[in-house]
Amino acid sequence: MTGQNPVFIPGPTNIPDRIRHAMNMQTMDHRAPDFVDVLAPVLRDLKKLFRTETGEIITFPSSGTGGWEAAVTNTLSPGDKVLVARYGMFSHRWIDLCQRQGLDVQVIECEWGTGAPADRFAEVLAADTAHEIKAVLVTHNETATGVFSDVGAVRAAMDGAGHPAMLFVDCVSSLASMDFRMDEWGVDIAISGSQKGLMLTAGMAILAVSRKAMAATRAATCPRCYFDFRDMTRANAAGGYPYTPPLQLIFGLRTALDMLFEEGLDNVFARHQRLAEGVRQAVSAWGLKLCARSPELYSNSVSAIYVPEGFDSDALVNHAYNAYGVSFGIGLGEMAGKVFRIGHLGALTDVMVLSGLATIEMAMKDLDYPIELGSGVAAAQEYYRKTSANAMSAAA
C-alpha cells in the first residue's frame, strides 16, 4: 500500500490521476497530417508558462540535463567564455557540462545556501570590456539547497554593465511552481523539464529560446546532431518532429497545461508559496535551520533542512523510506549527510504536505533527534488553518 503515498522529493513529482489517464493512450502516427493539431497548441501554450511572446519553444525527448546540453551546443563554440556561479549541485553539474563541451568557464564560487551573485556578475561583466563573455548561466532554483535566485537582478547587472552576453536560465525546478518571466528578465534560453512543476514523468526537456539565441546558432560550432535547434524548429514548423516524439508525454503535457491554466498561474504560485511557508513553519518549530541563508532566497518548491550536528541526513531519509514508505530528498554534493530535502512542488495540497511533515517527524523521533513529536505538524496546521481560503467560511 505504500505505493499510494505521495513522494516528497523535488522531482520527479506526484502525477495527478487526470494526467496519468491522459497519458494512457494508444499509439498515434506522428507522421499523420493531424499530428500538428496535437503538437502545435502545446508549443504555443508553453509560451504562456515561460511568459514569452517572442521566444520559441523547443522540446527534446530527454531529461532536463539534455536541455542544458542543447542550450550550450546550439549557441556556443569550443573556447567561448561563459560566466557562471557555483552554489549547489545543479549549478555545479551545469559548469561540469560546459567544461566537458570545451568552453572556457569562468566560475564564481559562492557558499552553498546563497544564490546567483548579481553584484559579482556586475563587476566581472564591467571588467570584460572586450565582451569575451558570451553567456551568463544562472540556476533559478538551486534544488540541492532550496535557494531561489533573482534573475531580474542578474539582468539588471548585465544591462548596468552594458554587456551583450546572452542569459541562460535553468528553471527546471521553478517553472510552473514559481513565477518565471522570460521576456521581462531578458532571458535568452530558459531550460526546463517535464517531471517537476509540470507533474509529468521524466522524458522531455522543454526550452524557450530568444531570437538572439536562435541567431547565435548560425556561428556556433559545438558539435550537435540530436539536439540541433534548427532540425527541431524546421520539423515543428512543418507540423512534425525530426524523430519519434514522446507522444504520451505530449498528451500528458496538454493536460498539465490545462490544469495549470484552469487553476490560474498566479494561484499556482500562491499555492506553492503557502505550502512552502507551512513547511518553513514546521522547520522552525523543530528548531532546525534551512540551508537557504535568508528569506529572500527561500525556495517555494523545495526546502533543504540541516540536521543537527552529529546526525546523518541520509540515514534519516533512508529510515523514512524503510519504516514508512515515504521518499524525501537526500543531501547532494557538499550537502551530503548534512541536509534532507522536502520537495513541495507539483501536484500537492496542504493535506498532503501535512502527511509528509508527520512522517519525517516520526522518522526523526525514531532516530532520537531532539525534536518534539507533533511540533512541526502543529505549526504547519496553524498556518494552513489561518491561510485556507475556505476554512473560515466553511466553519461559519
Ligand X SMILES: *Cc1c(COP(=O)(O)O)cnc(C)c1O
- Residues making contact with ligand X (CB under 6 A): 11, 63-65, 90, 139, 141, 143, 170, 172-173, 193, 202
Nearer to ligand X, 249 or 364 (CB): 249
Nearer to ligand X, 149 or 313 (CB): 149
Counting Cα atoms < 13 Å in the Cβ hemisphere of 355 gives 14
| Cα–Cα distance for residue pair 60/208, rounded to 1 Å | 12
Is 129 exposed, middle or buried, given 0-12, 13-18 or 19+ CB atoms closer than 10 A?
exposed
Q: How many residues does the chain have?
A: 396
Nearer to ligand X, 76 or 304 (CB): 304
The distance of closest approach from Cβ of residue 395 to ligand X in the complex, given in angstroms and rounded to an integer, is 39
Nearer to ligand X, 333 or 374 (CB): 333
The distance of closest approach from Cβ of residue 149 to ligand X in the complex, given in angstroms and rounded to an integer, is 11
Counting Cα atoms < 13 Å in the Cβ hemisphere of 73 gives 18
Pick the closest to residue 151 from 175, 126, 124 (CA basis).
175
The distance of closest approach from Cβ of residue 270 to ligand X in the complex, given in angstroms and rounded to an integer, is 22
| Cα–Cα distance for residue pair 272/268, rounded to 1 Å | 6
Question: Which 3 state secondary structure label does DSSP give 33?
Answer: coil
Nearer to ligand X, 91 or 281 (CB): 91
The distance of closest approach from Cβ of residue 43 to ligand X in the complex, given in angstroms and rounded to an integer, is 20
Pick the closest to residue 171 from 260, 238, 71 (CA basis).
71
The distance of closest approach from Cβ of residue 347 to ligand X in the complex, given in angstroms and rounded to an integer, is 17
Alpha-helical (H) ranges within the chain are 17-23, 35-50, 64-75, 89-100, 118-127, 151-160, 211-216, 229-237, 247-263, 265-286, 313-324, 350-366, 375-387, 391-395
147 membership: H or E segment, kind and range: strand 147-148
- Peptide bond preceding 33 in cis form (omega within 30 of 0): no
| Cα–Cα distance for residue pair 31/363, rounded to 1 Å | 51
Nearer to ligand X, 143 or 210 (CB): 143
The distance of closest approach from Cβ of residue 98 to ligand X in the complex, given in angstroms and rounded to an integer, is 14
The distance of closest approach from Cβ of residue 180 to ligand X in the complex, given in angstroms and rounded to an integer, is 13
Residue nearest ligand X by beta-carbon distance: 64
The distance of closest approach from Cβ of residue 197 to ligand X in the complex, given in angstroms and rounded to an integer, is 10
Question: Which 3 state secondary structure label does DSSP give 353?
Answer: helix
Q: Phi, psi at residue 240, to the nearest 5°?
A: -130, -155
Nearer to ligand X, 65 or 387 (CB): 65
Nearer to ligand X, 125 or 171 (CB): 171
